Amino acid sequence: MRTVSGGVDYLGGCARGLEFGLQEILGVEVDIDRAGHDSLDARIGFVEDSRRDFERITTPVTWYHGRFDAWMDLDRVRDVMAQGDTSKRRLVEIPTGHQLKSSREALQVFQAISCEIGRLTTGKEVGPALPSFSAMEKQQRHERGRLSPGETDLRRFWHDYLVGPNETLGIEMMTMGSHYRALMDKQMQALSIQPGQTVLDVGSGVSAFPERLLSRSTGLHDLRIVELDLVRAGLVRGREKLGSPCGISADFVESDLSAMGVPLKAAAVDRILASLLLSYVDDPISLMAEFHRVLRPGGVLVLSSLKLDADISMIYTAGAAEIRERGIAEFGDRAPFVESAMRSFLNDAARLIDLEEQGRFRFWEPQELVRLVRTAGFKNSACSEVFGAPPQALMVRATR
């Protein structure tokens, strides 16, 4: 609970008589006072309670633990599973993170769990059976169609995600981490930028790409970068961070891709970067056609997107640890906002997953992403896994 809350010990606070009211936990609004006291009254709030319960449990227990799930502590799992009669207990580590819903990896795990349930209930080994993927996707679309899409103000959501609700700190909570910087380095390498070229940075946010480019590259001159984003406040912050770099000119363009497409003339740019963008546009097919239109023959497109069932837990916890280790003094007058900004960003990142489940966003399997790029007319497309360990995103490089 302390991990998913961004470091706040809500249960310990409730036990000491503190009041918290409504708080967001991984994007879900929770009445902490009610939930906390309910957990304390039922004696399920602390690891000591779990130890006591496991001492009394006599039925078989099989615990599946995602090896890359940073919200769960494996040592604590081992601790409570070791209490009482352990003769009918199994701890199974699986190479996954926290999110398991509809990816092929998730279905493999669900098969293993189903087989285990069959073994425990019948005493026999039960073989798995995969569902029809096409039938499952059709059913998912039908179920999403029955749900109300909600009233999420996406422009406001992206504003808060990029610059923070109070415009102090936002996506910097991720872009300053080593996992994100490694992602940007791989994308820059794939772009193969040359002096004198024009680069379009679509979904530029707060200009993490040119900022990283300037810190890592030398010898680039007469380079023009077009920063294109929906959120004006993100563009303003990016302009402030970049200043007037030597040898590079930057244009900052506010545009709603869903309504306007890419507001550039045909064959206007040599390189296009669309970093972690494609999942969030209304019409990816039309956007890919726009990329093909504005890119010059022989130009390079590099795009990345979160994978299906992407899990941010390890990326977030590693990034938060790096920020605290380096010290928050580097944020200057924004230092007092760092801890609250990390919690706010964590909640917004969790909402990305919720909005994908509602059908507002879409995450991708590798073959789907490559097919989308090729259908738009791009050539030499190659897909690789990037962003984190294990990787949580896909990157495609293709040429016009």
Mind listing the domains of the chain with CATH numbers?
10-144 (3.40.50.1820), 154-399 (3.40.50.150)
Q: Pull the structure tokens for residue 396.
A: 């495609």
Longest dimension (CA), the chain: 72
Q: Which residue has the tokens 């507002």?
A: 360
Q: What contacts 46, CB < 8 A, 6 or more positions away? A: 11
**Nearest residue to 162 (alpha-carbon basis) of 225, 212, 236, 258:** 236
Q: Which residue has the tokens 């040359």?
A: 194
Angle CA 106–180–275, to nearest 5: 80
Residue 354 pLDDT grade (very low, low, confident, very high; cuts 50, 70, 90): confident
pLDDT at 239 over 70: yes
Q: What is the pLDDT of residue 150?
A: 62
Q: Pull the structure tokens for residue 397.
A: 């490089």
In tens, the pLDDT along 162-196 reads: 999 889 899 998 999 999 999 999 999 999 999 99
Q: What is the pLDDT of residue 238?
A: 95
Q: What is the pLDDT of residue 248?
A: 87
Per-residue pLDDT, averaged over 277-282, amounts to 92
pLDDT at 230 over 90: yes
In the chain, DSSP finds a helix count (H) and a strand count (E) of 16, 11
**Which spans in the chain are helix H?**
10-15, 32-42, 47-56, 74-81, 104-122, 133-146, 154-163, 172-175, 178-191, 208-216, 232-242, 257-260, 284-294, 313-326, 338-357, 366-375
- Round to whole Å and give the CA distance between 293 and 287: 10
pLDDT at 218 over 80: no
Number of C-beta neighbours around residue 154 at 10 A: 16
Q: What is the pLDDT of residue 27?
A: 84
Q: Which residue has the tokens 């081992």?
A: 78
Per-residue pLDDT, averaged over 29-58, amounts to 95
